Chain A
Amino acid sequence: MMLEILVSLIVLTIAAALSYKDYRLSFILSLAAIIPVAASGNAIYSALIFGVALLNAFSLLVIRGNHIAGVDYAMIAIMCIATLYAFIATDLAVMLTLFVVVSVPTYLLIMVSDREMKVDVGIKYVTFMVIATVLFMIGAVLLYSVGVNSMIYSIAFLMLIVGLSMEVGIAPVHEWVPDVFSSADPIPVSIVASLAKFVPFIIAYKIIVATATPAIGPLILVVGLIAAASMFVGNIGALTTNDPSRILAYSTVANMGYILATFAAITAGKEYIYFAIAGGILQLFVNSFGKIGFFTSIKNGGTSPITAYLLTFSFIGLPPLMGFWSKLFIIYSLVFSSYIWLAVILVLNSAISVPYYVRLARLLGTGWKFSLANAVVLFASLAMLITLIPPTWFVDVMSMMRGV
């Protein structure tokens, strides 16, 4: 695979350089650069990630007056390649590198908007990301270097979790999420909320699977409590606001809480590990397509009620949409690893979330006009129908992930 990556990077360099000539050339070359890596990895995983990246790239075309037009596509491509590579990476150094590679481009992307660069948003975001990266890395390195039965291990474990929490926006260190989501341009936010989320979780899964044992009960309890807190903060926070960006910000907090809950299942019971990981990653896909769809609708000033409700129902978790299966897998893994209370809280939170997702669909489902943004929304919502084929295939794909 190293060869493919090398090829991709060369193509990307050319693409970035050509962007000074014409950003459209860069667009095409960037997406082409992903293909060698995508083709060499797991087909289904690659296709899904590539789909997310594609939607991100197309949505960036919507922004007029982009200061870094051309470079941004290359950054999407780099993030995509890193996410694809994360599937097979097992070496700690490589994984941490991927973490940084996915994280850094968003520092720049988040400032992109129609008019000027939004520097104040960027500062807030970057501050959080830097602290998150430091905590995550120290935690990861320490976990690999000390034994399970030591105090350093506990500190390292929780540092990793807190770092992850800050990176993806889990309560109570989620403060950047509502601010950035509602003040930055919707398109970069949709990238931060989708493509950037996979690598931190995949790497955290791999590190914890490699180092943890079921003996660390109290630490898992802390993780479960953080997850539960995040679900409640996210869902209740979103419940009474009418601003779509705010709703989506808190919805992200809640969704990240659902995914963090799978860490309890991973360490507690090894038998259901694939269901836990499949549930978590599938929930990331739900979140990605959903956020791309909704944020692009915000940018577009509304979309068709049908697509809006499709996204809403998937988030709520109605079968046979993707959001149903992801939650089912998570609940399944939690129940069978004896974290029933967490499963109950998850179900309860799903119920709490219903009103604001419906409100979101009402606010955004104002009417269909043909446009590029609407096409992105349409494809994002159609992606929710992938699970019309019951996604046991997704569990199989996850079981092929290296290092878990």
Chain B
Amino acid sequence: MTEGMIEELPMMGELLALLFFSPIIASFPIAIAWGIDPRPEWARKLPVLSVFGLFVSLCVALYILFNVGELSPEAEPIKYTVYWLPDFNINFVFIFDYLSKLMGALTAVIAFLIGVYGLEYMRDDYRLGWYWFFFNLFTASMLLVVYSDNLLMLLIGWEGLGIASWGLIGHWFRDDDELSYVGVLKRKVAGLNMFWSPSTGGWRAISTIRIGDMPMFFALGALFALTGNLNISEIPWAGLEEKIGVVGIVVLMAAFLMGPFTKSAQLPFSEWLMTAMTGPTTVSALLHSATMVAAGTYVFMRLSWYIQPWELHLEGYEYVYILVLFLGLISSLYAALVATSTRERKVLLAASTMSSLGLMFASAAASYWIGKFAVLVAFWYLITHAFAKATLFLVAGHLIHETHDRFLCGDMEVARKLKWAFVATVIATIFLSGIPPFTAYWVKSGMDGVMHHLEHEFGLLPLALLVTISAIYSGFLGKFLSMNFFKGKKVHLHLHGGGIMSTAYVLMVSMLIVILGLYLTSHEEPFVEFFHEGLLPSSFAVGLIVLVAYSIGLFKPQLESPIGQFFSDRMYVMFLNDYIVPKIGWAVAKVVDYGNMLIDFTCHQAIPQMFEVYSAGIRFVQNGSLERYLRIVIGFVMLIVVVAVAAGWIV
């Protein structure tokens, strides 16, 4: 960082402190009040303060977006360093580049809107202090991940996300409300419970994430040991391969990416995301749009942004990017298939998120062959998806609130009575599925182009997968709309309030229209390219396929089939989480137990007994007979003489 740049950033330290700490500090009043005396009426007004903290963060994020440096993919990143351990080159390094500025603003906007929604949604909850503290910690952690250039600092935010997600997913820790479960209660398959309580959901989330965080942590250590630098934008990525070879790079990057893979719920670590739906809907909305799961893909994009693999053409990175490309596509296909057959509102959306995340990974991974454009496609897809998905979750939460049913249900009456929810759902599903000429269509066209360009390396496989996924994806979005507002079973509505909630999601969904305007009118990269791709006949053809799929989903949302049950049971991937891994765990515990028993036996029996035997043996000599003693003495003296002669020989 040069001197000049410091002058360009007046008050940056204070601003960043506001950005990260205001949400956390603002959540203290409610957390403390609730800790002292749960459920006082006056304390129920304190969450407004927490939301205000989120609003402060939003203001700072917007200020950074528009005032710090130039907003262009080609702009030089601006960095701000708070020195911590300069001798070890470990400092709080904040980076403001195209990705972080947009992502930070996105996070702050969505967190704020969901916070507002939460004021009404969580009004009567029994654990408000816990909820708001972790909600705001969640947001602050994500912002830290977003703006960090230093990996160690990023890791702090990363772990903050982990702990907050555990707290929020398991928020309803009493497991006493059927509405908060995932799966059909009491249902079993092959002896395994096919339903999950909030506390199980929280545990599954944190345990899965930790499995990825450990290798990531070691990879970080290795990076520091090898390069002495932890700033993503400064690590000599190209030199690294020369240093540790192809295998070294593959191992290192795979270990590092275990973190993003688990956080972003790629196969086979997807189960936790499905049962994360046991948390409050606001949590699901935040978790699925701009924080947590997005953090994984975001970190991968940021890495690619600075590794610039398209410039390097190194074998090791190529293997890594191939891995990510296909893992993303396969995860996406899996999740899309699961989503088609899911009967629960939020689980359907969860599966769709996982599908989208797969596409983001795949698209960003394609940057190895395509260049920066692929990362931009992935990034803009992330943004589009974030608003749409947050909207859908908030609507789903509202619907669950009004219908007291977490399964897909509702007919025209729901659409009539909850007009705004209906409108928001229509816009969100259409804009997200990629129907021309709506928002996601343009960015999906860009993605079509990216996958098409991979023809030389992988044939038409990536493109074919993408088109298939897109079709299925829009199909279940249509189904979601249909099953909630047209063709679902009739429900009894418990209408009460909902004004704040609908305001929040209407605002959220309107962001999609703003972005559409941006795509259509902007003369900047990458929007020009999106527009250009969108005008290609091939893209239009894909758009038509998507439209047809959407229509099928809309008009024929249900189809009985054994395959449907298989998909609905998420292809039984939960056996990995709930059966295989615990079995391994128990096996390890068994081994440890045997080790323990061995130590116990050694310390409490073998060694004492050995000493007892030897001790008695030593004293056994003493029988009082002088004759015996003299024999021993003479024998020893003779032995010593022999030894002395032998030693004299040597000397």
**Chain A positions near chain B (C-beta within 8 angstroms):** 123-124, 127-128, 131, 135, 148-155, 157-159, 161-162, 166, 172-173, 175-176, 178-179, 215-219, 222, 233, 236-241, 246, 250, 352
A304 CA to B633 CA, complexed, in Å:
40
What would 19 more interface pairs be, CB under 8 Å, given A154-B644, A236-B615, A241-B615? Answer: A127-B626, A128-B629, A131-B633, A150-B648, A151-B645, A154-B645, A154-B647, A158-B647, A159-B640, A162-B637, A166-B633, A172-B632, A216-B647, A219-B647, A222-B647, A236-B618, A237-B615, A240-B611, A240-B615
Show 16 A/B contacts (Cβ-Cβ < 8 Å), sorted by A.
A124-B626, A128-B629, A128-B633, A135-B637, A151-B649, A155-B644, A173-B633, A178-B619, A179-B622, A179-B629, A218-B650, A218-B651, A219-B644, A237-B615, A237-B619, A239-B611
Known: A124-B626, A218-B651. Is A155-B619 also a contact (CB below 8 A)? no
Interfacial residues of chain B within 614-651, with CB under 8 A of chain A in the complex = 614-616, 618-619, 621-622, 624, 626, 628-630, 632-633, 636-637, 640-641, 643-651
Docked-complex contact B618 and A151, CB < 8 angstroms: no
- In the complex, A233 Cα to B633 Cα: how many Å? 16
B612 at the interface (CB under 8 A from A): yes
Residue of B nearest to A135 (CB): B637
Q: Taking CB as reference atom, which chain B residue is nearest A171?
A: B618
Give the residue name and chain of the B residue nearest to A220 (CB): B647
- CB closest residue in chain A, given B637: A162
**Distance to closest chain B CB from A399 (angstroms):** 29
Q: A236-B611, A240-B611 are in contact. Are A173 and B621 (CB under 8 A)?
A: no
Interface Cβ pair total, 8 Å cutoff: 93
Docked CA distance A85–B33 (Å)? 83
Could you say which of A159, A161, A175 contacts B633, with CB atoms under 8 Å apart?
A175
Assembly CA distance A238 to B618 (angstroms): 9
Given A151-B645, A158-B644, A166-B633: A178 in contact with B622 (beta carbons within 8 A): yes
B611 / chain A contacts, CB cutoff of 8 Å? 236, 239-240, 352
1/0 contact string of B586-629 vs chain A (CB within 8 Å) = 00000000000000000000000001101110110110101011
User: Interface residues of B, CB < 8 Å — how many?
Assistant: 29
Distance of A363 Cα from B622 Cα, bound (Å):
23
- Pick from A154, A162, A179: contact of B624, CB below 8 A: A179
Question: Which residues of B have CB within 8 Å of A123?
Answer: 626
Q: Report whether B636 and A222 are in contact in the complex, using a CB–CB cutoff of 8 Å.
A: no
B615 nearest in chain A by CB position: A240
CA A222 to CA B640, docked complex, whole Å: 9
Q: Which 8 A-B pairs have the closest CB atoms?
A: A151-B648, A154-B648, A175-B629, A237-B618, A240-B615, A218-B647, A154-B644, A155-B644
Docked-complex contact A154 and B651, CB < 8 angstroms: yes
Whether B615 contacts A239 by the Cβ 8 Å rule is: yes
Chain B minimum-CB-distance residue to A241? B619
Q: Which residues of B contact A215 (CB under 8 A)?
A: 651
Q: Given A173-B632, A222-B643, A240-B611, A153 and B619 touching (CB < 8 A)?
A: no
User: In the bound complex, do residue A236 and residue B637 qualify as a contact, i.e. CB atoms below 8 Å apart?
Assistant: no
Query: How far, in angstroms, from A159 to B629 measured CA to CA in the complex?
Result: 18
**Which chain B residue has the least Cβ–Cβ distance from A154?**
B648
The answer to whether B644 and A173 touch across the interface, beta carbons within 8 angstroms, is no
Contacts of B650 in A (CB 8 A): 218
Report B609 CB to chain A, min CB distance, Å: 10
Tell me, in angstroms, the Cα distance from A62 to B261 when the chains sit together. 84
Chain B residues with Cβ below 8 Å from A148 are 651
Interfacial chain A residues near B619, Cβ < 8 Å: 178, 237, 241, 246
Q: Provided the pairs A154-B648, A222-B643 are in contact, do residues A175 and B612 lie with their beta carbons within 8 angstroms? A: no
Chain A hits for B615, CB < 8 A: 236-241
B648: chain A residues within 8 A (beta carbon): 150-155
The reply to whether B621 and A162 contact each other, CB–CB distance below 8 Å, is no
**Complex Cα spacing A153 to B649, Å:** 11
A240 touches B644 (CB 8 A): no
Do B647 and A172 touch across chains, with their CB atoms under 8 A apart? no
- Using Cβ atoms and an 8 Å threshold, which residues of chain A touch B641? 155, 158
Residues of B within 8 A of A237 (CB): 615, 618-619
B612 touches A240 (CB 8 A): yes
**B-side contacts of A162, CB under 8 Å:** 636-637, 640
A269–B459 Cα gap in the complex (Å)? 78
Which of B628, B636, B646, B651 is in CB contact (< 8 Å) with A173?
Answer: B636
Q: Which residue of B lies closest to A221 (CB)?
A: B647
Q: Which residues of A contact B637 (CB under 8 A)?
A: 135, 162
Per the bound structure, the CA–CA distance linking A74 and B420 in Å amounts to 115
How close is B404's CB to chain A, nearest CB, in angstroms? Answer: 68
State which of B622, B624, B628, B643 has its C-beta within 8 Å of the C-beta of A158: B643
Write out the residue numbers on chain A whose beta carbons fall within 8 Å of the beta carbon of B618.
Answer: 233, 236-237, 250
- The answer for the CA separation of A352 and B624 in the assembled complex, in Å, is 27
- Highest count of chain A CB atoms <10 Å: which of B611, B646, B648: B648
Contact yes or no, B632 A155, CB < 8 A: no
CA A158 to CA B626, docked complex, whole Å = 23
State in angstroms the CA–CA spacing of A123 and B624 once bound together.
12
Residues of chain A lying within 8 A (CB to CB) of residue B626: 123-124, 127
Report whether A219 and B651 are in contact in the complex, using a CB–CB cutoff of 8 Å.
yes
Given the complex of chains A and B, what is the CA–CA distance between A233 and B615 in angstroms?
8
Distance between Cα atoms of A81 and B628 in the complex (Å): 36
For A217, the chain B residues whose CB sits under 8 A away are 651
Q: How far is the CA of A176 from the CA of B640 in the complex (A)?
A: 19
Q: Which residues of B contact A152 (CB under 8 A)?
A: 648
Q: How far is the CB of A404 from chain B (nearest CB, A)?
A: 23
Could you tell me the distance between the alpha carbons of A352 and B646 in the complex, rounded to whole angstroms?
33
Known: A162-B640, A237-B618. A216 touches B651 (CB 8 A): yes
Contact with A along B282-308 (1 / 0, CB 8 A): 000000000000000000000000000
Q: Which residue of A lies closest to B623 (CB)?
A: A179
Partner of B645, one of A155, A173, A352: A155
Smallest beta-carbon distance B213→chain A, Å: 40
User: Shortest distance in angstroms between A123's beta carbon and chain B's nearest beta carbon?
Assistant: 7
Give A276 to B615 CA distance when docked, in angstroms. 30
Query: What's the least CB distance linking A215 to chain B, in Å?
Result: 7
Find out whether the CB atom of B632 lies under 8 angstroms from the CB atom of A149.
no
User: Which residue from chain B places its CB closest to the CB of A216 in the assembled complex?
Assistant: B651
Set of chain B residues within 8 Å of A238, measured between Cβ atoms: 615
List A contacts of B624 (CB < 8 A). 179
Which residues does chain B contribute within 8 Å of A216, judged by CB atoms?
647, 651
- State the Cβ distance, A262 to closest chain B Cβ, in Å: 20
Q: Return the chain B residue nearest A152 by Cβ.
A: B648
Chain A residues near B630 (CB-CB < 8 A) = 127
State the Cβ distance, B342 to closest chain A Cβ, in Å.
64
Flag if B621 contacts A158 (CB, 8 Å).
no
B629: contacting residue among A161, A176, A218, A236, CB under 8 A: A176
| Complex: A56 Cα to B621 Cα, angstroms | 30
Q: Once bound together, how far apart are the Cα atoms of A149 and B633, in whole Å? A: 27
Q: List chain A residues, Cβ under 8 A from B646.
A: 218
Chain B residues with CB under 8 A of A175: 621-622, 628-629, 632-633
Instruction: Enumerate chain B residues within 8 angstroms of A173, measured Cβ to Cβ.
Output: 632-633, 636
B644 CB contact (under 8 Å) in A135, A157, A166: A157
Distance (Å) between the CB of A216 and the closest chain B CB? 6
Q: In the complex the two chains form, what is the Cα distance from A178 to B618 in whole Å?
A: 11
Cα–Cα distance between A58 and B622 once the two chains are bound (Å): 31
Q: Mask for B359-390, Cβ within 8 A of A = 1, else 0?
A: 00000000000000000000000000000000
Q: How far is the CB of A155 from chain B (nearest CB, A)?
A: 4
Contacts of B628 in A (CB 8 A): 175
Judging by beta carbons under 8 Å apart, are A172 and B622 in contact?
no
C-alpha spacing A238/B649, complex, angstroms = 38
- A366 to chain B: closest CB distance in Å? 25
Q: What is the bound-complex CA distance between A175 and B618, given in angstroms? A: 10
Nearest-Cβ distance from residue B620 to partner chain A, whole angstroms: 10
Q: Report B-chain residues with C-beta under 8 Å of the C-beta of A151.
A: 644-645, 648-649
Q: Which residue of B lies closest to A172 (CB)?
A: B636
A239–B614 Cα distance when bound, in Å, is 10
Cα distance A364–B647 when bound, in Å? Answer: 46
Q: State the CA gap A246–B619 with chains docked (Å).
A: 9
Binary CB contact string for chain B from 301 to 331 against chain A (1 if under 8 A, 0 otherwise): 0000000000000000000000000000000
